Amino acid sequence: MFLNSLFLLFSASFLLVTVSGNGEFIVLHHPRSLTFKGHDHVKESILKELYSTALGFSTEQYSNWNGILIEDPFHLAEAIVTVAVDGVPDIGNSKGHHFPLRTNDVESNVYAALERRVLERYPEGNSQLVRIDLESGLEQVNKYRIFEGVKHDKAKKPIHNQLKLNVDEDRAFLNDITLLNSIIDEIERSDISADNTPDVYWFKIETLHALTDLYGENSTQVKEAKQLLTDAILRLNTAFNKLYKGKVLVSVVCSDAIHTRKARNILADGDEPAPKYNIAKAYSKDYPVIFNIILWFGVAMVFTLLAICIAIGSMDPGRDSIIYRMTSTRLKKDN
């Protein structure tokens, strides 16, 4: 019996660990009106609220995370620039302000929520809402007006020694870096300026995950790949910072959600049946209100009844109570 209980406890602990993966949230640049402090962990599901705060939007979800502080509410960010790196907990970059990230959501949900909020507030505006998965290539890049001039073959090839073009995983990653550098070249030539409508630029890269699985996280190939990616991201930071004259929030979101989903699938698809945990049933959101009303009403009734009983029990029948005086067999009369 004890061994069974211990097994259930261990299994539950393993499940909880795999549900929330590891990651890192890095702020490379922020306007002077914002301040980032501390190194408390932040949930990925809260990032949309953080970005909304940076743009001056009201938040829709309460969070007790206090890593961001608004110094000047009248000069907030004009644009959000995010590089989402899937499948790795970090990219080995030492620059910027780092926060541990709990990957309880996916980056696509964060962008979708941010895009919806921008469109709700500026339906007729000319906001740049860009989301590019680098693995999709030029077809997805060229559909945005700002990147119509991007040409993959005109980009400067990244210098590499450990990564080989005859390896599929290496070639896919190098193609993503080349495309990202082409985008940066186009940003440096762009004439976009701040127009009081927020812009969102979202770049996703997931080919680094394949390199990590192939060579190992501490291999020379992965270290070189992380350095190439870091160099490109720093170029991206400089380009957008110059384009928006510093009124931009540039960040990197590293998430190992892919490994997290794999761990959950292995646990769910195993041959052994999943143990039945003693999980409490779900309650309505009105349950705390109803519970408090019933609880305190019951307490008040008990003490009220007790006070009435004490008051009745301490009465003087001959002087205080008209009940005893009117029900007496011989009524008393005042002379």
The model's confidence at residue 276, banded by pLDDT at 50, 70 and 90, is low
**pLDDT > 70 in the chain, percent:** 78
* Least confident span in 147-161, 163-177, 202-216, 294-308: 147-161
**Does residue 12 carry a pLDDT above 60?**
no
Bridge partners (DSSP) of residue 69 are: 35
Phi, psi for 200 (deg, rounded to 5)? -130, 125
Q: Which amino acid is at 203?
A: F
Nearby residues of 183 by Cβ (< 8 Å), 6 or more positions away = 132, 141, 147, 150, 203, 236
Single-letter residue type at 184 = I
Provide the total of helices (H) and of strands (E) in the chain, helices listed first.
Answer: 10, 9
More confident position, 146 or 305: 305
pTM above 0.85, yes or no: no
pLDDT digits (tens, 9 = 90+) for 176-223: 999 999 999 999 988 776 677 899 999 999 999 999 999 998 999 999
Task: Please tell me whether residue 315 adopts helix, strand or coil conformation.
Answer: coil
pLDDT (0 to 100) of residue 284:
74
Name the average pLDDT for the chain: 82
